[in-house]
Amino acid sequence: MLGFRSCLSTARRVNLSFPTKMDTFMEAFEYAANRSKVLFGSGTIAKLPNILASRGLSRPLLLSTPQQLDQAQQVQKLLSGEAAGIFSEATMHTPVEVTDRAVEFAKSTKADSLVSIGGGSTIGLGKAIGIRTGLYHITIPTTYAGSEVTPILGETSDGLKTTRSDPSILPDAVIYDVDLTMTLPVGLSAYSGINAIAHAVEALYAQNTNPIIKMFAQEGVRSLAAALPEISKDPASQAARSSALYGAWLCGVCLGSVGMSIHHKLCHTLGGSFNLPHAETHTIVLPHALSYNASQVPHDMQRIASALGDDRGDAISGLNALLDKLPVKRGLRELGMREEDIDKAADIAMTKAYWNPRPTERDAIRELLRRAWAGEPARADL
């Protein structure tokens, strides 16, 4: 947790204004700090054995996707082979049937803890196992997703994705090692970074937001907006990689501290019901979701614009400009979504709607999805 002086310094860098008159009214709010222990730096993965030993743990189950099995094997070597085993079937949207297999594997190997290394898919699996078994969970993120510091679990079953929030879902410890992100492909870096920005954007105008989260959100967006174009130009820049990982942590804390709105509802719909890739979907939908809410939260739009470095104070243009600098797709049809599924997606999005600063209107939501499907630039006329 940042100290007061550090918070004050951060606030000044992101142009937060503090009241100068004693009669300025501060609205009431609630804030609870994230309980996860965070280790951030270069080479910090070397601290994993000590973390386990300090808890009296010696049989961690290592989790990864099939594509990141080699990283799980490297962790196994770091632990001198002292692990219950490796489960490398993590996949996007955390299917319940995969979790069930993992839980049974954890029981059969007598695992006493979990170590998940990878992006949102692996971290999600670790959360799903942890909430079912109570095993101590250490996560080692290798992307900028931010889900490692949220008490939120999204799971897919029978073609529908549902989410729940519970403090016990949070991993117990997070090891951020910038060295593990140095080979993250530029495209995946961009997509996961924009996914993280989406967490911060919606946290700014969440129903239960607060001044601390607003400060974290602005700093997180600022860090990522500066780092991602630099990573696209120079993937080996350790400074840019470090800034992006720092921003992703802040944005993840935002997601884990307050409620989300229409952007996340739409992305959960598109991912869970149409199996669209998580970070890519967030990247495409975000500017359109921002335009949907812009008229209702003008002050927060100014904060976003400032964090994005848009001199005109236009958050939508600022986000469009950032995306133009990155090697990312802009249309859901490029991800395989069919045009005839737009109406179905709009109907699903209208069910069990999340709180949103602007009421969810079916026709406007459908048009938002159509623009995102077609890959049109976002504009403020939804």
Per-residue pLDDT reduced to its tens digit, 113-159: 999 999 989 999 999 999 999 999 999 999 998 889 989 899 999 88
- Reference 248, options 277, 216, 213; nearest CA is 216
Q: How far apart are CA 126 and CA 143, in angstroms?
A: 15
CA-CA distances (angstroms) from residue 320 to 157, 310, 377?
Answer: 34, 10, 7
Indicate the pLDDT class of residue 24, thresholds 50, 70 and 90. Answer: low
Domain 37-181: CATH class, spelled out: alpha beta
Indicate the pLDDT class of residue 231, thresholds 50, 70 and 90. Answer: very high
Are the C-beta atoms of 52 and 60 separated by less than 8 Å?
yes
Indicate the pLDDT class of residue 313, thresholds 50, 70 and 90. Answer: confident
Percent of the chain with pLDDT over 70: 93
**pLDDT(247) > 70:** yes
**pLDDT(170) > 80:** yes
Q: What integer pLDDT is reported at residue 26 of this predicted model?
A: 65
**Per-domain boundaries in the chain:** 37-181, 186-374
Are the C-beta atoms of 285 and 373 separated by less than 8 Å?
no
Residue with tokens 């994705």: 161
Architecture per CATH, domain 186-374, reads as Up-down Bundle (1.20)
Q: What integer pLDDT is reported at residue 222 of this predicted model?
A: 98
What does residue 36 show for φ and ψ, rounded to 5 degrees?
Answer: -65, 135
Indicate the pLDDT class of residue 21, thresholds 50, 70 and 90. Answer: low
Q: What integer pLDDT is reported at residue 8 of this predicted model?
A: 44
Q: What integer pLDDT is reported at residue 75 of this predicted model?
A: 97
